[in-house]
Amino acid sequence: MPALRRSLLLLALCVSHSAHAGEVRVAVAANFAGPLARIGAGFGAATGHTLAVSSGATGKFYAQIAAGAPFDVLLAADESTPRRLVEAGHAVAGSTFTYAIGQLVLWSARPGLVDDQGAVLASGRYTHLAIANPRTAPYGAAALATLQSLRLAEKLAPRLVTAESIGQTYQFVSTGNAELGFVALSQVSVPGKQLVGSVWRVPGHLYGEIRQDAALLNVGRTNPAAVALLAYLKTEPVRDLIRAYGYGP
């Protein structure tokens, strides 16, 4: 970021801090809830603004926003949902941008169960495989695409446990209700904490790129705190934090 632009941004944040601290109502994809908590703390310290966060499946957020849910900002798990919201007149044209590129992983809370090639999928060493709902959760769609690419979708259909979101998928695996599941790398690779269990980073060619886009929603158009949050997400320290959680730049 050029020095002048960075200075103007910091000045805007400081002015916002000293003048009218406000609240941003954020709908965030479940995979990004952890990073957003860290980002929100820094954002609050820099600006005085606070976040009111709801996390869940991106597809469900689309339905809620279209029905009038009063969110200011959407942090989606895909790029198509923000675009569709703009096209439908529910989000501000020109406000969308990619804030992260997701990484799908196969994870088990049991050390040693998941190998670094994902061969466990074709084995008989587990009973339940958790995935997020492919119809509403982009990471669930990526998980299904992976199984289809590996030609295992039909074989493993009886073992699938479908969760509402990638957050619930993580819960199924962490509690042992499913021995393994497809989750986001950011959910199991937390900066400063040791990885629990075993994991396979699914090669991107098996499911395609997960571009996660942000959008300023119509409700947030006149909310300075919402505009400031989107600007804050583009700063280098925040980008570094997002990368530390395992997302692509």
In terms of Cβ atoms closer than 10 Å to its own Cβ (0-12, 13-18, 19+), residue 194 is: exposed
List domains and CATH numbers for the chain: 3-101+209-244 (3.40.190.10), 104-201 (3.40.190.10)
Nearest to 187 by CA among 42, 36, 12, 24: 36
Residue 3's pLDDT band, with cuts at 50, 70 and 90, is very low
> 52 has which bridge partners?
25
Higher pLDDT, 3 or 228: 228
Helix, strand or coil for residue 195?
coil
Average pLDDT of the residues in 57-66: 96
pLDDT band of 9, cuts 50, 70, 90: low
Looking only at Cα atoms, what is the longest distance across the chain?
61
pTM for this model (two decimals) = 0.85
The two tokens of residue 194 are 């040791």
CB 166 within 8 A of CB 184: yes
Q: 149: which residues sit within 8 A by CB, 6+ positions away? A: 205, 206, 207
pLDDT tens-place string over residues 114-144: 999 999 999 989 999 999 999 999 999 999 9
Amino acid letter, 208: G
